[in-house]
Structures are given as structure tokens and as C-alpha cells.
């Protein structure tokens, strides 16, 4: 599934206003520190004019946010491409507002050529901000979805005990509460099971295959294969590092960082919804 068609979070009012404030601060800093569009030649109070650009950006963002709110309520689910398009239209609206300020400060005539030049430079800066904004909000959404899923499944599975079977004649099966399982690693003809025992991380090696373990635990959706050699218990993820090409997962108190290969990233995202 393309990232553009994935579900995108509805941001809360606090996040929406915070983002507007962030955009206005970025515009203020760009104008005051970098002084683009020939602003370095302006002879007046640059601090005051930079604050004006920031204030207009904040006001334009708030006005657009209020105007766009009915579309958020009407379109369900709100997807990444909806957010990206909305953000680009918002940038265009704010650019128009700032263009009038720019024309007032420089006494430029309000004509199409001047506006297109202003819009060109505005888009160069704004596209970077837009990509960062959509990416960060989508990451926030995935993190919140994961946390909600972990809380729910951990509570539901409090009394569940699982069995991982050793296939040798004299082998001993491993029984443990599912919430104590951290991860399982394939090692040639064996698997190494990492779990919590008496408050400490323990590892037990069993003669079986990862495929057999997955088959035995197929009824538990939080038992997730993230790599050809690793299966993890999503309930016990404490941190994740990486990007769309792959992640590194930390589970419980284990020092091992478990890889999520690129092949399994879409499946993980689909699982999170």
C-alpha cells in the first residue's frame, strides 16, 4: 500500500495550534536571520517586520485551519494524501497573505510576475517544512497506535500461558506467560527464546524451527515476525529506531536490538492500521 493512501491522524486542537505557532516561528527566524527576498537591503526595523511576517503566518494558518475543519469531519478516513494536499493549499494561502505584507513593506506593485517570483521562493522553503510536518505527524500516529495496541493486548493476555515445543525425543517444552516473552531468534536447527524470568532476562534454546513456533502461536496477533530470523512480542517493545528501510527494536530489558527488515515494515504498518 502506498504511503499516500495510508490513514493519517486527526490532529488535536493543541497540536494544530502548536503547528501554527511552529510555522510562524520558522518564518520569523528565516526572515530575521537569513533575510531572503532582498530583505537584507531593507533600511527599516527588520525585527519588527520579521515579527509581522511571523504573525501573518500564524493568523493565516489559524484561519485556514478553521476553514478546513469541516473537510476533516466530512472525509473519512483522512489519508496522507489528503493531509499533504491540505498543507500545500495552506502554504499557498499563507504565501498570498505574506505577499501582501511583502508588497506593503517594499512598496512593490501587486502584479502576477512579482507574486510568482515570491511564490517560487516560498515553495522552496515550504516544501521542506511540509514534508517534515506530514512525516512527524504520521510517525506520531504510528507511535500512538502501537501504544494503544500494546496496552490493550497486554491486559487481555494477563492469564495466558504459551508453550514452545522442543522436537527432540528428550527435549523439554518451554511454558511461560505470553506477556513474559520478548523475542525468539532462529539459530540453525534451533531457536533461542528470550523472556523474563524472576524479573531478569533469560534465554532458553530449543530444538525446533521458527516456522513451527509461528504456527503454534498463530492465534496471538502480537506475536509478529519482523525478520526472517526473528519473532517479537509487540507487547514488550520499549523503543524503536530507524525509518522505512528498517527498524531496530528494543524489547524489555534485553540488550539485544532486534532488526525489522524492510520486507516486514509494510506488514507492521498494516498491522497497526
For residues 77 and 180, which has the higher predicted lDDT (pLDDT)?
180
Q: Which of 234, 195, 227 is nearest to 210 (CA)?
A: 227
Using the predicted structure, report yes or no on whether residue 232 has a pLDDT greater than 90: yes
Give per-residue pLDDT as tens, 200-231: 999 999 999 999 999 999 888 889 999 999 99
Helices 13-29 + 112-156 axis angle, to 10: 140
Q: For residue 201, what pLDDT is reported?
A: 94
Whether residue 155 is predicted with pLDDT greater than 60 in this model: the reply is: no
pLDDT above 50 (res 84)? yes
Q: 243: buried, middle or exposed (CB in 10 Å: 19+, 13-18, 0-12)? A: exposed
Q: Which pLDDT band holds residue 1 (cuts at 50, 70, 90)?
A: very low
What value does the mean pLDDT of the chain take?
80
Amino acid at each position: 500500500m502506498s504511503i499516500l493512501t495510508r490513514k493519517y491522524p486527526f490532529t488535536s486542537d493543541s497540536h494544530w495550534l502548536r503547528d501554527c505557532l511552529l510555522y510562524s516561528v520558522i518564518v520569523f527566524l528565516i526572515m530575521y536571520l537569513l533575510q531572503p527576498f532582498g530583505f537584507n537591503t531593507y533600511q527599516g526595523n527588520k525585527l519588527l517586520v520579521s515579527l509581522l511576517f511571523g504573525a501573518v503566518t500564524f493568523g493565516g494558518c489559524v484561519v485556514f485551519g478553521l476553514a478546513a475543519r469541516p473537510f476533516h469531519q466530512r472525509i473519512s478516513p483522512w489519508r496522507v494524501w489528503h493531509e499533504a494536499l491540505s498543507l500545500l493549499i495552506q502554504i499557498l494561502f499563507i504565501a498570498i497573505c505574506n505577499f501582501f505584507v511583502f508588497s506593503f513593506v517594499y512598496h512593490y506593485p501587486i502584479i502576477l510576475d512579482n507574486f510568482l517570483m515570491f511564490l517560487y521562493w516560498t515553495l522552496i522553503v515550504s516544501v521542506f517544512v511540509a514534508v517534515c510536518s506530514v512525516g512527524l505527524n504520521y510517525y506520531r500516529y504510528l507511535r500512538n497506535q502501537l501504544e494503544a495496541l500494546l496496552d490493550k493486548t497486554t491486559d487481555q493476555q494477563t492469564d495466558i500461558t504459551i508453550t514452545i515445543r522442543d522436537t527432540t525425543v528428550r527435549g523439554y517444552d518451554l511454558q511461560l506467560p505470553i506477556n513474559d516473552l520478548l523475542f525468539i531468534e532462529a539459530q540453525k536447527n534451533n531457536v533461542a527464546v528470550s523472556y523474563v524470568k524472576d524479573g531478569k532476562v533469560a534465554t532458553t534454546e530449543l530444538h525446533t524451527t521458527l516456522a513451527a513456533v509461528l504456527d503454534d502461536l498463530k492465534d496471538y496477533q502480537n506475536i509478529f515476525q519482523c525478520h526472517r530470523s526473528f519473532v517479537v512480542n509487540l507487547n514488550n517493545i520499549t523503543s524503536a529506531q530507524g525509518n522505512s528501510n528498517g527498524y531496530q527494536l528494543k524489547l524489555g530489558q534485553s540488550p539485544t536490538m532486534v532488526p525489522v527488515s524492510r520486507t516486514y515494515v509494510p506488514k507492521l504498518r498494516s498491522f497497526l492500521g
